[in-house]
Chain A
Amino acid sequence: MSLLPVDTPTALSEFADSERRLAALSAAAETPAPSAESEEWRYSPIGDFSPEAYTAPTAAPSSADVARSDGQAAAISIVDGWIVSIDVDPGWEAKGLSISNADSASRSLDVPDPGQFDHLHLAYSPSTLDITVPGGLTVNEPIVITSHLTASDASVAAFPHVRVSTGADAEVTVVEHQTSEGAGLSVPLVELTADSASRLRHIVVQQLHRDTWQLGRLVSTAADQSTLLSGIAAFGGGYARVRTDTSLDGRGATGNLVAVYYGDESQIHDFRTFQHHRGPGTLSDLLFKGTVDDEAGSIYTGLIEIHEEGAGSNAHQTNRNVKLSEDAWAWSVPNLEIRNNDVRCSHASTVSPVDIDQQFYLQARGVPPTIADRLIVAGFFDEVLQRLPDPAVVELVRNLISAKLDGRAA
C-alpha cells in the first residue's frame, strides 16, 4: 500500500466523489515531493519520508462515540481522519451553534502555496468537520475535538479537516486534542474564518506518539475588528510540523499566535509561520517558546509580511528556545517583509541554555540544581500559558510540561 498511486486509485473509487479525489491524487503524483533543499522545508528530515509506508483508510473505523463532559459546548471525535461522533449541547444548538459532518465533494485546493501533501489531503480527507457560530452568539463553553490516530499492521495516514467560522460579533473557543498509538502519519488541515468583530480561539494540544509524523496546516483569515487566537502546545510526535498562515484582511483585525513546544530524545518540532497584514491597522503578536532536550531539535521560521494596504499595522514575532542539553538543537529564523512604511514591527529570537544567573539565584537560596532548572523551565513557558484562554487547557499544558520535566529527572 502507498499514499501515492500504485494500488490506491481503486481504494479511492469507494468514495462518492471519487473523480475529484482521483484527480487530486494525480496532481499529487505530478507535484514534486517536498525536499529539505527548499526554503520551506529547510532543516527538516522530510527527505526520510516515504509515502509507501502509509495507507489512508477508506472506510470509517469502528470506534466508540465520545460524549460531552460538563462545561463543554460540544464534543467531537475524529479517528484516523474520520468524524465518528458529534455531541452538541442542545442548548447551544438551539441558539444556532451548528456542527456538522460536511460532505467535501465541493472542496478545492485553496490553501496558500499548495504542495504535495495538500493535494494528498484533498484526495484522502474523508469529510469536513464544519463548526459555524452564527453572528452575535457567544459560546462561552469550549468545543472539544479529540483527533486520534490508531495503530494497525499498516501505518495509518490520517487527513482530518476542521473548519471553524464565526459570524459577526460571535465568539467561540475550540480545543483540539491530538493523540496516536504508534507509527502513523497525521496530516491535519484546520481553517479558521473570523467575521467582523468576532473572537475565534483555536488551541491544539498535540500529544502524538513518538513514532508518528505530523505535517499539519493551519490557515486562518480575520475580518475587520475580529480577534483570532491560534495556540499550539506540541509535546509529541517524531517529526511534527505545523505551517500556520494567518491573514489579517480587515481593518483592525488582530491575530494572536502562541505556541509552546517541548522535544526530547530524537523529536523534532517544526513551525513555519506567516503573518500577512492585508488590512489597515491590523495587529499580530506571535510568541513561540520551546525547549529541546537530549538530541531533540526545533525549527522555527516565520515571516511577517505587511502588504501595501497594511498601513498603521503592528506586527510582533518572538521565538525563544531553551536548550537543555549539549546535543539538542534549535533553528530560529524570523523574517520581515514590509511594503508599507507606516508600520511598527519587531522580531526577536533566541536559542540559549538555561540562564546561569537564574540558576545561581535559585541555587543560592538552597534549591538543588535539577529542581532549580525545573522551576526555571516551567517558568519560561508561563508567559505563553497566560495567553491561553481555557483554564482546563492551561492546567493540562502545565501538567504536560511537568511530565516532560519529570521524565528528564528519571
Chain B
Amino acid sequence: MSELIISGLKATVGGSDILRGVDLTIRSGEVHAVMGPNGAGKSTLSHVLMGKPGYEVTGGSVTLDGADVLAMATWERAQAGLFLGMQYPTEVPGVSLEAMLRASFEASDRSPADVAERVLVEAGRIGFDEKFLTRPLNVDLSGGEKKRNETLQLGVLAPQIAILDELDSGLDVDALRMVAKRVKAATTEGDQPLGVLVITHYSRLLEELQPDHVHVLAKGQILQSGGPELATELEETGYAGYAEDTPADTGPVEFDPFGEPHGV
C-alpha cells in the first residue's frame, strides 16, 4: 500500500506564483482526476512532483510513503515509485526505448534481463505496433503513438503512483480506450495496485478510467473535490465558475525583472 501526500504545495515559475497551496492524497488503487481551466497550474503540478528544472518550490511538502519526495533528484523519485506520463514526450535521438528501460532497471535492484520481454507484452496490451519499439525514443512517432509509448513504459516500470498529464491528447477514440483500459487494469492488478493522478481537460478519458475522486484545480489550488459526478457537471458548465486571473501555465518562462508585475 502506497500513499502520495501533497500538502500545501506552493511553487513559482520565473517569479510567478503558480501553485498556491495544493493538497491531495493519492493511495494505491485510487484514481484521482485533476481538471481545470488552462493556466490553472495542472502541468506545473505534474512537473513539480517529478522535479523538472525551472520550477521553484516555495512551500508545502510531498511525501511518498513517508519519504520526502521534494528532497529527491528526479531519477530517485522515479526509483521510489513515481511515474510521470508526459503531455509532450521528448524526442531523444539515438536512444532506444529498451536501452532507457534497461538503464532504469539497472539503477534499481531489478534485473534488466526480462525488459525486452516485458516491452513486448505491454506493446501487445495497448496495440502499440512493434515496429515502433526499435525507433529512437519518440522520434518520428505521432502524438498518439507517443502516448501509447508512455503507457507502455508505465506498464514496464510498474510504479506505485502515476501522474498522467493529458494522456488523452493526441489519441483517437480506440487508442484512448486501450490506453485507459491498461491504466485501469494497473489499479487493480497485482499485490501493489497503481495509484493514479490523471490530469485532463476533458471527461472523455474519465469515462474510461472511472475516477474515484475528481478535483478542480484553479488559481493554483484545489477549489473543489467530489466524486465522478463532478466531472459530468464540469462537462456541462465548464470552468466559468473558476475564473482565471493567473498567467497562462505554459511551463518555465523568462522572468523580466524590468517588465510589468504580473501574477499577484
* Residue interface bits B72-101, CB-to-A below 8 A is 1, else 0: 011101110001101001111111000111
Which residue, B52, B74, B79, B107, has most C-beta atoms of chain A within 10 A?
Answer: B74
Could you tell me if A360 and B52 are in contact, using CB atoms closer than 8 angstroms? Answer: yes
Q: How large is the interface on A (under 10, 10 to 19, 20 to 34, 35 or more residues)?
A: 20 to 34
B50 / chain A contacts, CB cutoff of 8 Å:
360, 364
Q: How far is the CA of A378 from the CA of B137 in the complex (A)?
A: 13
Q: Tell me which residues from 350 to 403 in chain A have a Cβ below 8 Å from any Cβ of chain B.
A: 355-358, 360-369, 371-372, 375-376, 378-383
* Residue interface bits A336-357, CB-to-B below 8 A is 1, else 0: 0000000000000000000111
* Residue interface bits B97-113, CB-to-A below 8 A is 1, else 0: 00111011011100000
Q: Which of B75, B99, B101, B108 contacts A363 (CB 8 A)?
A: B75
Which residue, A361, A365, A381, has most C-beta atoms of chain B within 10 A?
Answer: A365
Q: How far is the CA of A360 from the CA of B77 in the complex (A)?
A: 12
Asked whether any CB of chain A lies closer than 8 Å to the CB of B53, the reply is: yes
Q: Which of A366, A372, A381 contacts B94 (CB 8 A)?
A: A381
Asked whether any CB of chain A lies closer than 8 Å to the CB of B8, the reply is: no
Q: How far is the CB of B163 from chain A (nearest CB, A)?
A: 10
- Secondary structure at chain A's binding surface: helix, strand, loop or mixed? helix
Q: How far is the CA of A375 from the CA of B107 in the complex (A)?
A: 14
Asked whether any CB of chain A lies closer than 8 Å to the CB of B228, the reply is: no
B74 / chain A contacts, CB cutoff of 8 Å:
360, 363-364
Could you tell me if A367 and B86 are in contact, using CB atoms closer than 8 angstroms? Answer: no
Could you tell me if B90 and A365 are in contact, using CB atoms closer than 8 angstroms? Answer: no
Could you tell me if A383 and B94 are in contact, using CB atoms closer than 8 angstroms? Answer: yes
Which residue, B79, B93, B106, has most C-beta atoms of chain A within 10 A?
Answer: B93
Closest to A382 in B: B94
Q: How far is the CA of A375 from the CA of B103 in the complex (A)?
A: 9
A380 / chain B contacts, CB cutoff of 8 Å:
93-94
Given A366-B107, A375-B99, A380-B94, is A361 in contact with B73 using a C-beta cutoff of 8 Å? no
B157 / chain A contacts, CB cutoff of 8 Å:
365-366
Q: How far is the CA of A403 from the CA of B77 in the complex (A)?
A: 29
Which residue, B89, B99, B100, B153, has most C-beta atoms of chain A within 10 A?
Answer: B100
Given A363-B73, A375-B103, A382-B136, is A358 in contact with B92 using a C-beta cutoff of 8 Å? yes
Q: Which of A356, A364, A376, A382 contacts B84 (CB 8 A)?
A: A364
Q: How far is the CB of A69 from chain B (nearest CB, A)?
A: 29
A363 / chain B contacts, CB cutoff of 8 Å:
73-75, 78
Closest to B93 in A: A379
Given A365-B78, A366-B78, A367-B75, is A360 in contact with B101 using a C-beta cutoff of 8 Å? no
Q: How far is the CA of A360 from the CA of B189 in the complex (A)?
A: 29
Which residue, A357, A364, A367, has most C-beta atoms of chain B within 10 A?
Answer: A364
Q: How far is the CA of A115 from the CA of B73 in the complex (A)?
A: 54
Q: How far is the CA of A381 from the CA of B95 in the complex (A)?
A: 10
B103 / chain A contacts, CB cutoff of 8 Å:
362, 367-368, 371-372, 375
B108 / chain A contacts, CB cutoff of 8 Å:
366
Q: How far is the CB of B46 from chain A (nearest CB, A)?
A: 10
Q: How far is the CA of A381 from the CA of B103 in the complex (A)?
A: 19
Given A360-B53, A379-B136, is A365 in contact with B92 using a C-beta cutoff of 8 Å? no
B53 / chain A contacts, CB cutoff of 8 Å:
356, 360
Which residue, A362, A376, A381, A382, has most C-beta atoms of chain B within 10 A?
Answer: A362
Q: Which of B75, B92, B94 contacts A368 (CB 8 A)?
A: B75
Closest to A369 in B: B75
Q: How far is the CB of B160 from chain A (nearest CB, A)?
A: 12
B73 / chain A contacts, CB cutoff of 8 Å:
363, 369
Q: How far is the CA of A62 from the CA of B103 in the complex (A)?
A: 48
B93 / chain A contacts, CB cutoff of 8 Å:
379-380, 382-383
B137 / chain A contacts, CB cutoff of 8 Å:
361
B94 / chain A contacts, CB cutoff of 8 Å:
376, 378-383
A381 / chain B contacts, CB cutoff of 8 Å:
94
Could you tell me if A379 and B78 are in contact, using CB atoms closer than 8 angstroms? Answer: no
A371 / chain B contacts, CB cutoff of 8 Å:
103, 106-107
* Residue interface bits B121-160, CB-to-A below 8 A is 1, else 0: 0000000000000001100000000000000010001000
Q: How far is the CA of A369 from the CA of B95 in the complex (A)?
A: 15
Q: How far is the CB of A174 from chain B (nearest CB, A)?
A: 27
Closest to B103 in A: A367
A378 / chain B contacts, CB cutoff of 8 Å:
94-95
Q: Which of A356, A360, A375 contacts B95 (CB 8 A)?
A: A375
Closest to B106 in A: A371
* Residue interface bits B48-84, CB-to-A below 8 A is 1, else 0: 0010110000000000000000000111011100011
Could you tell me if A366 and B79 are in contact, using CB atoms closer than 8 angstroms? Answer: yes
Q: How far is the CA of A382 from the CA of B106 in the complex (A)?
A: 23
Could you tell me if A366 and B92 are in contact, using CB atoms closer than 8 angstroms? Answer: no
A366 / chain B contacts, CB cutoff of 8 Å:
75, 78-79, 104, 107-108, 157
B52 / chain A contacts, CB cutoff of 8 Å:
360, 364
Binding site for B on A (CB under 8 A): 355-358, 360-369, 371-372, 375-376, 378-383
Known: A364-B74, A375-B100. 8 other contacts (CB 8 A): A358-B90, A362-B92, A365-B101, A366-B108, A368-B103, A376-B94, A380-B94, A382-B93
CB<8 Å pairs between A and B, sample of 27: A357-B90, A360-B52, A361-B90, A362-B92, A362-B103, A363-B73, A364-B50, A364-B77, A364-B84, A365-B153, A365-B157, A366-B75, A366-B78, A366-B104, A366-B108, A366-B157, A367-B78, A368-B75, A371-B103, A371-B106, A375-B103, A376-B94, A378-B94, A379-B94, A380-B94, A381-B94, A383-B94
